[in-house]
Structure 1
């Protein structure tokens, strides 16, 4: 059994009939959605991911819109990196704003990740990602540079132009030489006019299921 399947088997035990469940994006979440098929008629689903939404709809889940929901029992998601203080870096997919809404709605926000993504200190290989209003592009680019970062506007792979979020905004990938002051940098950028959200989930993670592929064991972060 792959480590992703082992993680999913543990996550399945947490989902109970009558729950409202959030599912994020990524292959492990997709596998969980498929494996939870016996609960299709007994749970309601929310998701910030268009791919996950399509999968859940095709499978027959009742998918509801977050704008009409003020609480979720639990939500599952992946991440780029997770630390031992329940903070995470996310958003290769650029949907972190909507993911953060789901995380905040959830009584329990569970991340599912392989052991390699659990870190003592965040590695700068993954950028801090900003969702930014188009009107504020130059302002935000200048601010990131003034904080020592290298901002890059994410461009679309299958069309000429910038990548737009589902909310119609730009995505800026910010590479910093160090994440030693990441909470402070995140706070400064979050407060900047035109920044909708950052991809740093500051103490938003309540729990995590961590899989070690070397010995096929599962650990938990509580």
Structure 2
């Protein structure tokens, strides 16, 4: 059994019949979506991920849109980095605005990830703070990030000419900083800036996490 399968095996009993379940993106969550279909398919699914939406539909789940959902029993997602206080950076996928909606709706928000993504103290600056930004606010946000000591980069598309657009039709700005010593304050300043839809920093939204250690072949919970 691979480490992703071990994480999924630990997460599966948390899903009960009749629940509204949030599934994010990524390969580990996809494994959970597949496995749950064989064990607990009497659930409704809400997801921020177009890929997961398609998978869940093919597997026969009832998939509902978050705009019509006022509560989620439990949600599962991945992350780029996680700390011991239930904070996370979710920067790679570019769907953090929609992910954060579901995380906030959820009674329980669980991250499924590798143990080496758990940081001991502060977040590693190799992962940028990502801002989803209204197109009209691009110049304002780029200037403000630079004024706070960051290096803002507009995310471009890999498979076509032009910028990466979110499912909401907005831009993504990857913001690299020399230090994350004041990340919560920095995040708050950008979250309240005109034109910023959402940031990729999840502030105390994580209920728990299932962490897999590929080398040791073990799985543990962040909070017991």
Normalised by the length of structure 1, the TM-score is: 0.98
2:133 equivalent to 1:132 = yes
Greater alpha carbon shift after TM alignment, 131-140 vs 32-41? 32-41
Matched, 1:204 2:224: no
CA RMSD of superposed structures (Å): 0.8
Name the structure 2 match of 1:116: 116
Match of 1:165 in 2: 166
SS of residue paired to 2:38: helix
Task: Confirm or deny: 8 A CA contact 1:130 1:197 kept in the other structure.
Answer: yes
CA contact (8 A) 2:15 2:40 kept: no
Residue 91 of structure 1: how far off its partner (Å): 2.4
**Residues in 1 aligned to 2:87 and 2:179: alpha-carbon distance in whole angstroms:** 17
Output the CA distance in 1 between the equivalents of 2:159 and 2:86. 35
Q: What corresponds to 2:87 in structure 1?
A: 87
Tell me, in whole angstroms, the C-alpha distance in 1 between the residues paired with 2:163 and 2:214: 37
SS where residue 173 of structure 2 aligns? strand
Q: What is the aligned residue count?
A: 222
- For residues 20-54 of structure 1, give each alpha carbon's deviation from its aligned partner in whole angstroms, at most 9, with x where no partner exists: 00000000000100011125640000000000000
Partner of 1:18: 18
The answer for the alignment partner of 1:46 in structure 2 is 46
* Alpha-carbon spacing, 1:212–1:41, altered in 2? closer, same or farther (3 Å): closer
Aligned to 2:73: 73
CA contact (8 A) 2:110 2:210 kept: yes
Deviation readout 1:134-176 (Å, 9 max, x if unpaired): 0000000000000000000000111111100000000000000
Counterpart CA distance in 2 for 1:219 and 1:33 is 20
Q: Tell me the SS of whatever aligns to 2:174.
A: strand
CA contact (8 A) 1:110 1:206 kept: yes
Query: Which residue does the alignment assign to 1:6?
Result: 6
Whether the aligned pair in 1 keeps the contact of 2:16 and 2:40 (CA below 8 Å) is: no
Is the contact between residue 81 and residue 118 of structure 2 (CA under 8 Å) also seen in structure 1? Answer: yes
Structure 2: distance between partners of 1:40 and 1:76:
15
For the 8 Å contact 1:97–1:196, the answer to whether it is kept is yes
Unpaired segments ≥5 residues, structure 2? none
CA contact (8 A) 1:127 1:175 kept: yes
Which 5+ residue runs of structure 1 have no aligned equivalent? Answer: none
2: CA distance, partners of 1:180 / 1:126: 14
Q: After the TM superposition, which segments of 4 or more aligned residues of structure 1 sit over 4 Å from their partners? A: none
Structure 1 residue matching 2:215: 3-state secondary structure? coil
